Amino acid sequence: MDKEIVITNSQGLHARPASALVEKMQAFDAVVRIDVGTKSANAASILSVLALGASAGDTARVSAEGTDAQAAIDATISILTCEED
């Protein structure tokens, strides 16, 4: 399953949101991938997520496989679209 969204978190996927995302992924039995442009990242890897260089306004495709796939996608989207700093 997958979903395409526009990143609205003002920080994009830089240090704090990336760290929060990786931490949150530990709670799910799912493998989550985030694709931004031609780059792809495993949402459980801080280096992989930071390497995306994703900023507010970028379009991202979030996909997941596993028992908790939908919940993991929802949690990922929540971080990517968070309006708070």
- With H, G, I as helix, E, B as strand and everything else as coil, classify residue 10: coil
Tell me the whole-structure pTM to 2 decimals. Answer: 0.92
How confident is the model at residue 2, as a pLDDT?
93
Place of tokens 């900023």: 55
Query: Catalytic site residues?
Result: 14
Does the pLDDT at position 82 exceed 90? no
Q: Which residue has the tokens 């971080």?
A: 79
41-65 exposure pattern, b = at least 16 Cβ within 10 A, e = fewer? bebbebebbbebebeeebebebbbe
The mean pLDDT value of the chain amounts to: 95
Q: How many CA atoms lie within 13 A of 36 on its CB side?
A: 23
**Tens-digit pLDDT profile for residues 17-57:** 999 999 999 999 999 999 999 999 999 999 999 999 999 99
Q: Which domains does the chain have, with CATH numbers?
A: 2-80 (3.30.1340.10)
